[in-house]
Amino acid sequence: MDALRLLSRSTGLKAKISKEPPQNLPSASGSVISQNGEDPSLNRKRKRDSEDANNDQVPQATSNLLSEDEVRQFQKRHKIKIVDLTRLQGASRSEESRKLRKEQSRIYPQPVTSFGQLRTHYNVNPALASNIAEQAYFEPTEVQAATFSLLLKSSVEEDQREPDLLAIAPTGSGKTLAFLIPLIEKTIRAHRQRQDQAEKHVSAIILAPTKELVPQIVNEGRKLCSSTGVSITAMRKGMKLLEGHPASDENQSSEDDFEQKTEDKTDPSSRPLVKADILVSTPLSLVHALCPSWEEDEPDPPHPIPTIETLVFDEADVLLDPLFRSQTLAVWSACTSPSLQISMWSATIGSNIEELAVSTIRERQKRLKIRRSQRPQLLRTVIGLKDTSLPTISHRLTYTATESGKLLGMRQLLHPTRSTFSNGNEDTTVPLRPPFLVFTQTITRAQSLYDELQYDIPASAGGSSRIAVLHSSLPDHARASIMQQFRQGKIWVLITTDLLSRGVDFRGVNVVVNYDIPTTVAGYVHRAGRTGRAGRQGGVCVSFYTKEDIQYVKGIVNVIAASEKLRTSSRNGEVSGSNAAATASSVTTTGIQPWLLHALPNVSKSAKKDLKLHGVESRRAIHADDDEKTKRMKRKSRIGTQSGYEKREVNRKRGAVQASLSTKGKTPQESEAGAEWEGFS
**Contacts to ligand ADP by CB under 6 A:** 17, 22, 137-138, 140-141, 144, 169, 171-177, 505, 507, 533-534
Closer to ligand ADP at the Cβ: 17 or 273?
17
Closer to ligand ADP at the Cβ: 184 or 557?
184
- Nearest Cα to Cα of residue 273 among 307, 246, 304, 303: 246
Other Cβ atoms closer than 10 A to 257: 19
- Residues in the interface with Mg ion (CB under 5 A) total 2
Closer to ligand ADP at the Cβ: 135 or 293?
135
> Which of ligand ADP, Mg ion, none sits in contact with 10, Cβ below 5 to 8 A by type?
none
Cβ pair 235, 259 in contact under 8 A: no
Displacement of CA 599 from its chain's centroid (Å): 33
> Which of Mg ion, ligand ADP, none sits in contact with 526, Cβ below 5 to 8 A by type?
none
Strand partners, 278: 204, 232
Encoded one letter per residue, x for contact with Mg ion by CB under 5 A and - for no contact, window 129-168 reads: ----------------------------------------
Rounded-to-integer distance, Cα 521 and Cα 361, Å: 27
Cβ pair 525, 446 in contact under 8 A: no
Rounded to the nearest 5 degrees, what angle is found at the Cα of 390, between the Cα atoms of 140 and 503?
75
> Which of Mg ion, ligand ADP, none sits in contact with 552, Cβ below 5 to 8 A by type?
none
Minimum CB separation of residue 500 from Mg ion in Å reads 13
Q: Which amino acid is at 602?
A: N
Rounded-to-integer distance, Cα 559 and Cα 464, Å: 35
Other Cβ atoms closer than 10 A to 442: 16
- Nearest Cα to Cα of residue 218 among 205, 229, 228, 200: 205
- Nearest Cα to Cα of residue 162 among 39, 310, 51, 28: 310
Rounded-to-integer distance, Cα 576 and Cα 586, Å: 12
Rounded-to-integer distance, Cα 420 and Cα 429, Å: 6
Applying CB under 5 A, among 78, 175, 240, 395 the residue interacting with Mg ion is 175
Closer to Mg ion at the Cβ: 111 or 503?
503
Q: Which residues in 659-678 contact Mg ion (CB under 5 A)?
A: none
Closer to ligand ADP at the Cβ: 314 or 549?
314
Rounded-to-integer distance, Cα 455 and Cα 462, Å: 10
Minimum CB separation of residue 535 from ligand ADP in Å reads 7
Length of the chain: 681
Region near Mg ion per CB under 5 A, out of 88-96, 257-265, 425-433, 502-510: 502-510
Closer to ligand ADP at the Cβ: 131 or 141?
141
Other Cβ atoms closer than 10 A to 50: 17
Closer to ligand ADP at the Cβ: 11 or 398?
11
Applying CB under 5 A, among 26, 174, 238, 503 the residue interacting with Mg ion is 503
Closer to ligand ADP at the Cβ: 534 or 661?
534
Minimum CB separation of residue 187 from Mg ion in Å reads 20
Rounded-to-integer distance, Cα 227 and Cα 130, Å: 10
Closer to ligand ADP at the Cβ: 534 or 596?
534
Rounded-to-integer distance, Cα 255 and Cα 264, Å: 19
Region near Mg ion per CB under 5 A, out of 126-134, 382-390, 501-509, 594-602: 501-509
> Which of Mg ion, ligand ADP, none sits in contact with 603, Cβ below 5 to 8 A by type?
none
Rounded-to-integer distance, Cα 196 and Cα 43, Å: 46
Cβ pair 175, 143 in contact under 8 A: yes
Closer to Mg ion at the Cβ: 175 or 466?
175
Minimum CB separation of residue 173 from ligand ADP in Å reads 4
> Which of ligand ADP, Mg ion, none sits in contact with 141, Cβ below 5 to 8 A by type?
ligand ADP
Minimum CB separation of residue 433 from Mg ion in Å reads 25
- Nearest Cα to Cα of residue 490 among 448, 435, 433, 545: 435
Minimum CB separation of residue 223 from ligand ADP in Å reads 9
Residue nearest to Mg ion (CB): 503
- Nearest Cα to Cα of residue 358 among 316, 302, 296: 316
> Which of Mg ion, ligand ADP, none sits in contact with 137, Cβ below 5 to 8 A by type?
ligand ADP
> Which of ligand ADP, Mg ion, none sits in contact with 386, Cβ below 5 to 8 A by type?
none
Minimum CB separation of residue 175 from Mg ion in Å reads 5
Strand partners, 83: 106, 380
Q: Which residues lie near Mg ion (CB under 5 A)?
A: 175, 503
